[in-house]
Amino acid sequence: MTSAVSAVLITMTCVFVPVSLLTVWVHDIVLDTDRYVATVARLASDPAIEAAAVHRISEVADVRHRQPCRALVRGAGADR
């Protein structure tokens, strides 16, 4: 009886300790939006980073705009 209870308690401990550590990490690190904003605010106000972001976003938008939609191309070929 005692060994069965010990085995159950050890198993529960092995399951719940990692879950609790993950929960604490998510609460303290991932959900801390004030910390994220404080970190990123300095980057967002840097003109070099802002220019790089605008350039990269413009490149991606331009590439997506120039590529025809495959479904429309297939549909246009089927009509002919």
Give Cα separations from 14 to 3, 6, 21, 46, 80 (angstroms): 16, 12, 12, 46, 65
Please give the pLDDT value at position 60: 84
Per-residue pLDDT of 5-46, as tens digits, reads 999 999 999 999 999 999 999 999 888 889 888 888 888 888
pTM: 0.44
76 pLDDT higher than 70: no
With 70 as the cut, is the pLDDT of residue 79 above it?
no
